[in-house]
């Protein structure tokens, strides 16, 4: 069995990481029949992987067996790899495993739901989250507590004054502040340690949804006795170049040692009799069923990759690319950027550009980028409907009309935007190609006739279909 450190080239760095991207050379057929190397600008949704992560997966597959389940050598190897991965995750964010536990989940959404299920909240309890948060850090709290939203400023930033006012207003009932580390719509980074200190001053805990932030910036949850300590940290491997089905929840052991786990079954118990269940220790107690060995190993190797490159180098590369992208976008009068369009520094801004072209549907723009540019972006509301509504200044009358249309099965009037988001491997040359296609769209020089599917809200070119079997098919 190889050591994962041997998987990485000795000279691996931010400048050559692109050479190891899985699928980099893939070409797609465009509307005019030509082929173009695909450009992936949807990293805020999910990321591709790299050859050494794939190699590590292939390596552990040769030793695959049930984790914590068998007495055979393969099972012992698999179990050690799984357990070792947890330490790599903890060290990446400086989590103290004497007081905290690292629980593997399917994704960030499941991790947040687990916290919501395990905090013993009632409707008398208040949870604060913001209008900029993803639905996954909003909807779970609505089920278990009274959710109050922190407002945003005119340009889309978190309103810290409103946050403090609401903390003071609800402090008697406030149990948790659940906040995103960075907004998936605008890429704006929140001062999570400042918020943590504020929360702790008023007797509350803080949960940080780090799904968007952790692949791009160094995160330190700080020691448990530090007033800026992050109590709960959640994130997903698929957004940090390990798309193999693992999420992470880091939180205080004492929260999860008490009571019953939210999912029960195999692996969660020490003893079961007709009338009694004795739960096992953490983190196994909270990981019902057969663990995802492949997901854990791939996440650990992705973390090692990021550490080898250096998170400061990752941040600097992406800040430079984002600065360049904003400069280019601001040169186009027809582009309307969501959030601030000018930054003195990109320290607190991720590589996310969300925009509309004047007088054009966001869905149509995304379709043309796809079919005539070979560029993958995201469009819509990005699972952040309240944030989009505020950024686009959608009136209540417009919102009600959209609601009525959706209830009728018509999603074509749903407001939204187009989002381009960067990873560590993206380049200025790719963005130049993106700008060229945007200029073509702005000048209405695109070739296709696009048909709107009201049920999905998507546009598709007339008389064109993708031959999916050419790219992938089951035997």
In order, the DSSP letters of 354-366 are EEEETTS-HHHHH
Q: Would you name the residues annotated as active-site residues?
A: 383
| Inter-residue contact 315 to 218 (CB < 8 Å) | yes
DSSP class of residue 17? G
Give kind and range of the element (H or E) at residue 39: strand 39-40
| Inter-residue contact 119 to 151 (CB < 8 Å) | no
Q: What is the dihedral of CA 467, 470, 472, 475, to 10 degrees?
A: 110
- Burial (Cβ within 10 Å: 0-12, 13-18, ≥19) of residue 124: exposed
d(CA 167, CA 84): 39
In sequence order, the 6+-apart residues with CB closer than 8 A to the CB of 409 are 454, 455
Query: What phi and psi values does residue 144 have, to the nearest 5 degrees?
Result: -115, -20
In sequence order, the 6+-apart residues with CB closer than 8 A to the CB of 198 are 163, 164, 167, 177
The pair of three-digit structure tokens given for residue 84, joined into one six-digit string: 């070792």
């Amino acid at each position: 069995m190889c050591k994962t450190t041997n998987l990485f080239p000795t000279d691996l760095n931010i400048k050559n990481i692109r050479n190891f991207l899985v699928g980099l050379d893939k070409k797609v057929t465009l509307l005019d029949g030509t082929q173009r190397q695909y450009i992936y600008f949807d990293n805020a949704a999910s990321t591709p992987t790299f050859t050494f992560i794939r190699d590590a997966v292939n390596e552990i597959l040769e030793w695959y067996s049930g984790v914590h389940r068998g007495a055979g050598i393969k099972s012992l190897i698999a179990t050690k790899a799984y357990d070792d991965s947890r330490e790599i995750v903890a060290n990446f964010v400086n989590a103290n495993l004497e007081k905290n536990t690292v629980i593997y989940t399917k994704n960030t959404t499941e991790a947040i739901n687990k916290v919501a299920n395990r905090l013993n909240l009632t409707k008398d309890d208040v949870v604060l989250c913001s209008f900029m948060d993803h639905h996954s850090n909003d909807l779970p709290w609505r089920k278990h507590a009274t959710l109050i939203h922190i407002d945003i400023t005119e340009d889309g930033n978190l309103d810290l004054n409103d946050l403090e006012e609401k903390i003071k207003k609800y402090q008697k009932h406030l149990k948790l502040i659940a906040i995103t580390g960075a907004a998936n719509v605008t890429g704006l980074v929140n001062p999570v340690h400042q918020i943590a200190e504020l929360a702790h001053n008023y007797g509350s805990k803080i949960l940080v949804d780090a799904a968007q932030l952790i692949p791009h910036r160094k995160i330190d949850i700080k020691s448990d006795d530090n007033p800026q300590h992050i109590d709960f940290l959640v994130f997903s491997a698929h957004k940090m170049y390990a798309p193999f089905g693992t999420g992470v929840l880091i939180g205080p052991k004492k929260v999860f040692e008490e009571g019953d786990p939210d999912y029960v079954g195999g692996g969660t118990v020490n003893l079961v009799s007709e009338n009694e269940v004795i739960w096992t220790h953490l983190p196994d107690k909270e990981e019902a069923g057969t663990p995802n060995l492949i997901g854990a190993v791939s996440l650990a190797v992705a973390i090692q990759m990021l550490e080898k490159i250096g998170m400061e180098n990752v941040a600097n590369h992406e800040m430079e690319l984002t600065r360049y992208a904003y400069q280019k976008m601001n040169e186009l009068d027809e582009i309307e950027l969501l959030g601030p369009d000018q930054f003195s520094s990109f320290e607190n801004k991720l590589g996310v550009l969300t925009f509309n072209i004047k007088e054009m549907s966001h869905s149509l723009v995304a379709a043309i980028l796809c079919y005539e540019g070979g560029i993958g972006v995201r469009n819509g509301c990005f699972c952040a409907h309240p944030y989009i509504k505020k950024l686009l200044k959608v009136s209540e009358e417009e919102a009600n009309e959209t609601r009525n249309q959706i209830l009728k099965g018509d999603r074509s009037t749903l407001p939204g935007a187009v989002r381009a988001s960067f990873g560590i491997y993206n380049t200025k040359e790719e963005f130049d190609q993106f700008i060229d296609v945007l200029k073509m769209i702005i000048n209405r020089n695109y070739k296709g006739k696009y048909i709107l599917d009201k049920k999905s809200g998507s546009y598709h070119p007339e008389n064109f279909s993708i031959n999916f079997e050419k790219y992938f098919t089951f035997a």
